[in-house]
Amino acid sequence: MNFEPLLNAPLAIQIHVAAVVPAAIIGLVIFLRRKGTKLHRALGRVWIVLMIATAISSFFIHQINLVGGFSPIHLLSILVLLGCARAVAAARMGQIGIHRKTIARVYLGGILGAGFFAFMPGRIMNEVAFPYGWQSPFLVACLLMALVAAVFVYRSKSGFLVPKLLRKSLRL
């Protein structure tokens, strides 16, 4: 990894990365741990704040200028803000199913989806994570983790990541 491109990036990008990296980690911890506990609620509050900071900071990043300095990826930021509000409201009203689905969508779209674009060739995070291109050890590790995740999803009986209807239609 080479942090120089990130350290030389505009402040908005540095703030954005400083918010999204812990949000990705905390979100994963929340998904893996027991729900409804005091720790879950505390980590959830921190995660929501980090996701809001991530979304707001993205509006100050203008590397892809399509319309008035904004790009389609900024639509994800709007959806993240709306999703965070909906998830908090659902949790407070005891609508745990809606809360769970909304949080999963915010995580998948706001972190994994947007992260996919952030690591595209030519982007700062690509230069940070993969400074040696295809020879980068981090890239190899990421590809191996993606393979393990794909096997996990394929073998998942709960259907959390692959909806049951999709699994049936694909005969997985």
Provide the mean pLDDT of the chain: 83
Q: For residues 45 and 31, what is the distance between their CA atoms, to the nearest angstrom? A: 14
Of the pLDDT bands very low, low, confident and very high (cuts 50, 70, 90), residue 123 is confident
Greater pLDDT, 34 or 136: 34
Q: DSSP secondary structure string, 74-118?
A: HHHHHHHHHHHHHHHHHHHTT-HHHHHHHHHHHHIIIIIIHHHHH
Q: For residues 55 and 76, what is the distance between their CA atoms, to the nearest angstrom? A: 8
Cα Rg, the chain, nearest whole Å: 17
Domain ranges of the chain: 4-131, 132-172
Q: What amino acid occupies position 10?
A: P
Q: For residues 37 and 142, what is the distance between their CA atoms, to the nearest angstrom? A: 31
Q: What kind of fold does domain 4-131 have according to CATH?
A: Four Helix Bundle (Hemerythrin (Met), subunit A) (1.20.120)
Q: What is the mean pLDDT of residues 20-45?
A: 92
The predicted pLDDT at position 86 comes to 97
DSSP percent split of the chain into helix, strand, coil, nearest 5: 75, 0, 25
User: Percentage of the chain with pLDDT > 70?
Assistant: 81
The predicted pLDDT at position 135 comes to 67
Q: For residues 117 and 139, what is the distance between their CA atoms, to the nearest angstrom? A: 15
Q: What is the DSSP letter of 7?
A: H
pLDDT in tens, 138-170: 667 777 777 776 666 565 555 444 455 544 544
CA 40 from chain centre, in angstroms, equals: 18
Q: State whether the Cα torsion 150-107-163-157 is positive or negative.
A: positive
The predicted pLDDT at position 114 comes to 86
Q: For residues 3 and 131, what is the distance between their CA atoms, to the nearest angstrom? A: 9
* Residue 128 token pair: 């940070």
Range with top average pLDDT, 2-16, 39-53, 109-123, 156-170: 39-53
pLDDT in tens, 54-103: 999 999 988 776 677 777 788 889 999 999 999 999 999 999 999 999 99
The predicted pLDDT at position 55 comes to 96
Q: What is the pTM of this model?
A: 0.76
The predicted pLDDT at position 48 comes to 98
Of the pLDDT bands very low, low, confident and very high (cuts 50, 70, 90), residue 131 is confident
Q: What is the mean pLDDT of residues 101-129?
A: 86
The predicted pLDDT at position 121 comes to 81
